[in-house]
Chains A and B, each alone.
Chain A
Amino acid sequence: MRPLIPAAAAVGALAVASLFIGVGDLPVGALLAGAPSDEAVQLLLVSRIPRTLALVLAGAAMAVSGLILQMLARNKFVEPSTAGTSESAIFGMTLTTLLLPDIPVLARMLVAGGFALGGTGLFLAILRQVPLRSPLVVPLVGIMLGGVITAMTEFIAYRYDLMQSVRAWETGDFSGVLRGRYELLWIGFVLTGMAYVAADRFTVAGLGQDFTTNLGLNYRRVLSLGLTIVSLVTAAVIATCGMIPFLGLIVPNVVSLLLGDNMRRSLPWVTLLGAGLVLACDMLGRIVIHPYEIPIGTMMGVIGSGLFLYLLLRKNSHAA
């Protein structure tokens, strides 16, 4: 456990750096001297601290969701955006925006979470029926399912002029995060905590239904707990800042390459690396075309595709 401390310190340093990057000027010296201007304090409290917290929470929660989903689907190439989860959540968001435009954000997120749960459940049900489960077929099925759900979303969005809202949910972006607009992510924090408590159960569930039942665990209950965590986390992240592709895929795979598949051992690393990767990508997006910024969905799309291709094309990728 010892190397975790420097890793946590590194993520902490990234988080602090994230506070000082942006268009508005934040004088470090004045803050340290204890005599900051009111404007600087406002900027820090309303924008920078919420954004940094949102990045850390979303990154950690999405990475853990990916790990749980990989355990439950027993496949290393699965994550919310390759299992129909994110697409279903966006479908739910679109429907509530259209049918119940006045309900509070929390209710909308819960509805989206329900849809995400349904979509992921459908994905797992389909997998059970596909006889030959080559490791590469599993994500293909999930991606096709996601494509179908996206087609349905776009059908509705196009008819009712919601295309740009849908695009906003499809691309993760933290630039709109302010105090009062990110608090849903604390739900993700609570759920990630639950994943910590249940980590051993997920590890066992990853060995299959028969094995789990032999060890005296209720497989269905573990499965529903995992799916609920993943769906609600995905919905909360999409409702707050939009979809972050590949995060849940890259982070658990890198950790598993280094540490193996015991979830209790890998969870802290997945959490830290998830938060760190999101912080780093977001800061890079803010720096590259300063004073404008590249949304994190695009940054992760580009960086994540590269890393995913590497994982796929590694010499012994079939072992993964």
Chain B
Amino acid sequence: MPPDRSRLLRPQPVLALLAVLAVACIVVFMTIDARGKWSFVLTFRGTKVAAMVLVAYAVAVSTVLFQTITSNRILTPSVMGFDLLYRLIQSALVAGLGAGAVVQLDPRLRFGCEVAAMLLFSGLLYRWLFFGGRRSLHLLMLVGIVFGVLFRSLTAFLQRIIDPNEFLVVQDRMFASFNRVDGSLLAVSAVIVLAVSVVGWRWIRTFDVLALGREAAINLGIDHQRAVMGILVLVAILVSVSTALVGPVTFFGLLVANLAYLLIRSHQHRFILPAAVLVAVVTLVGGQLVLERVFAFNSALSIVIEFVGGLFFLFILVRGSTR
């Protein structure tokens, strides 16, 4: 990258611009076309915005950190089978209890079980691979993917034996949606995400060193295995919480992380992480705004973002800007 260009695009102004854009999106989203009582409008839309911001944060941070430890910009943590496990849990619930019972199930109970199942899965996976004397991240990811195929096979089987009407209930849960987020779950998720962030913030300089690669990081005095393990745990918590809250999003993280790398000409995580989060907020809130007001599409934001994210992914791959 030529030096004059990097001076032109310093990280701070870009971050400020993104922050203004994000706030503008949120304000417009909260106030546009508001009719009736403000207290109702603000609470109703506030929950939705809060859910979007929370998910934007969790997905952006987890993807950037995951790409840092894998030194690969085309991977997301969800390749490791999280969303497929989530789909399996949903299908198993409907197959086991029936769609009616699933709809009536206490959302807090279901949320707790889903997060616990996903954390248990990733915990076992990490433990098994990292303490078995084999320490390749690529191996870890492939094993995660293979488990993903296993989950998908079981899900497909369950879906075949479910009544088509009940299948519709599962199908709705297969895609992320911000319209049915429960307020109390949101609070719990926010507390978890905040706690994780406080822990993670203390490592922010470690992230920069880890991004140099395994050998360099070890030479610079980092306990590489411990640091990677710590990040993997952070990532697992963030992904599990956001998936259990709104449903699976796969390529969204890829989209926002790569946009952040494009916008921020710096390798420091204290710039890249906030940039990715802000890009994610703008994409989610702004996207929902456009879809609701312009296209009158209601619940399909996540599918559109997956689609756009997928196209963007192909674009960066073909352009060869992968590392």
Report which A residues bind B (CB closer than 8 A). Answer: 77, 122, 125-126, 129-131, 134, 136-137, 139-141, 143-145, 147-149, 151-152, 154-155, 158-159, 163-164, 167, 170-171, 245-246, 294-295, 297-298, 300-302, 304-305, 308-309, 312-313, 317
Residue of B nearest to A155 (CB): B307
Chain B residues numbered 107-161 whose CB sits less than 8 Å from any CB in chain A: 134, 136, 138-139, 141-143, 145-147, 149-150, 152-154, 156-157, 159-160
Chain B residues numbered 286-323 whose CB sits less than 8 Å from any CB in chain A: 300, 303-304, 306-307, 309-311, 313-314, 317-318, 320, 322-323
The answer for the CA separation of A302 and B143 in the assembled complex, in Å, is 14
Task: Provide the residues of chain A in CB contact with B310, threshold 8 Å.
Answer: 147-149, 151-152
Whether B138 pairs with A308 at a CB distance below 8 angstroms is: no
Could you jot down 27 A-B contacts, CB within 8 Å? Answer: A122-B318, A125-B318, A131-B323, A137-B138, A139-B142, A141-B74, A144-B79, A147-B79, A151-B251, A151-B307, A151-B309, A151-B310, A158-B303, A164-B167, A171-B157, A171-B160, A245-B149, A297-B156, A298-B154, A301-B149, A304-B149, A305-B146, A305-B147, A309-B146, A312-B146, A313-B139, A317-B139
List of 3 A-B pairs having minimum Cβ-Cβ separation, nearest first: A301-B153, A136-B138, A148-B310
Whether A77 pairs with B142 at a CB distance below 8 angstroms is: yes
Task: Provide the residues of chain B in CB contact with A143, threshold 8 Å.
Answer: 79, 145
From A134, A155, A297, contact of B153 by CB (8 A): A297
From B153, B156, B160, B313, contact of A148 by CB (8 A): B313
B250 touches A (CB below 8 Å): yes
Query: Do A313 and B141 form a contact, CB below 8 Å, given A140-B75, A151-B307, A163-B171?
Result: no
B86 touches A (CB below 8 Å): no
Nearest-neighbour CB distance to chain A for B314, whole angstroms, equals 6
Nearest-neighbour CB distance to chain A for B305, whole angstroms, equals 10
Nearest-neighbour CB distance to chain B for A159, whole angstroms, equals 7
B72 touches A (CB below 8 Å): yes
B100 touches A (CB below 8 Å): no
Query: Do A148 and B251 form a contact, CB below 8 Å, given A136-B136, A171-B153, A298-B153?
Result: yes
B66 touches A (CB below 8 Å): no
Chain B residues numbered 243-258 whose CB sits less than 8 Å from any CB in chain A: 250-251
Query: Do A294 and B322 form a contact, CB below 8 Å, given A155-B306, A159-B300?
Result: no
Task: Provide the residues of chain B in CB contact with A136, threshold 8 Å.
Answer: 136, 138-139, 141-142
Task: Provide the residues of chain A in CB contact with B311, threshold 8 Å.
Answer: 148, 152
The answer for the CA separation of A301 and B154 in the assembled complex, in Å, is 8
The answer for the CA separation of A159 and B304 in the assembled complex, in Å, is 10
Query: Do A126 and B317 form a contact, CB below 8 Å, given A136-B142, A143-B145, A163-B171?
Result: yes
Whether A158 pairs with B322 at a CB distance below 8 angstroms is: no
Task: Provide the residues of chain B in CB contact with A122, threshold 8 Å.
Answer: 314, 318
From A151, A163, A302, contact of B250 by CB (8 A): A151
The answer for the CA separation of A136 and B300 in the assembled complex, in Å, is 34
The answer for the CA separation of A134 and B136 in the assembled complex, in Å, is 11
The answer for the CA separation of A301 and B310 in the assembled complex, in Å, is 25
Whether A144 pairs with B74 at a CB distance below 8 angstroms is: yes
B29 touches A (CB below 8 Å): no
**10 further interface pairs, Cβ-Cβ under 8 Å (given A155-B304, A301-B154):** A136-B139, A136-B141, A140-B72, A144-B79, A151-B250, A159-B300, A171-B153, A304-B149, A305-B153, A308-B146
The answer for the CA separation of A255 and B36 in the assembled complex, in Å, is 71
Query: Do A158 and B79 form a contact, CB below 8 Å, given A136-B138, A140-B141, A143-B145?
Result: no
Nearest-neighbour CB distance to chain A for B197, whole angstroms, equals 27
Nearest-neighbour CB distance to chain B for A187, whole angstroms, equals 26
